[in-house]
Structure 1
């Protein structure tokens, strides 16, 4: 059986992926992983050998993230964020699709986004996900299912449910289409 430290080193890449999915910021994700590892080392005596080390570490990381969120509690209204933060000039079709996916992922509720990343990207089982997040297996499956269904709806062009946002998206699409028909670039609309 590998030593505790060897298990920590082995799981670091998966912790980084989970942290990145939670924070959506590379530097913050690295800080979160470091804090979680420090917590795990401090609580090393509480780990029961033979149990699921991966789930134990993922739970420590998730709990640390939640604890940090509670400490900050600063929020902003989406209407206060400049539109330039949400759009950029695509250099390639794939980049645009990835940006759309990234935006759609960021719109998912945190529990669904976390579950989707842990199952789809990390290949974690529903049972391990349930143990890591402290929920029932059925809840874990439901979160992944709802996240996949919502992403599919957004990625296939379904308009947002929020009326104000729907009207903005409809107006933006119409303006972009008009500019395309006139042979003009519509990138200024995305950056304003």
Structure 2
């Protein structure tokens, strides 16, 4: 049985980004497995615009009644949700920008967190509609924030994933990457070892 993994990168530093390096390590390990299939989406190279009211409104119109403009706008969300559903594992390679996620990644979440499609509202609160998926977060950070009040990024990511039903989330931290060369090398080595364990477990 083949496991399909969707790798999303969002670093503006391209090949110089440490989160990109973590994603590439995951990808290189997976390449050696016949039972793992990888799809990669670079959210910087293939950047999504900020969500606008016309695009949001296009989702509310039945597919058969949309204008040409509405079909084009709605297709962004429709295609990304379809891609998500086609995969078993979502790998988010995430740098930390000003304690948050890159806006490029937020624009992706704005399209896949969609009421009526990937979650629904009930009188007991929202319920995720995506089942049987898991996620891996590869978090690259210049400082050390994990487990502190300043790490608003991790609960934000887990909350957005949980909203649509992805509750099984593994997080690999590579922290202190701007705190000296030896610290960076040790953190990256530890993170890559953790990634190796995750890939083996898939």
TM-score (normalised: structure 1) = 0.29
* Largest Rg, 1 or 2: 1
Greater fraction of residues in strand: 2
Greater fraction of residues in helix: 1
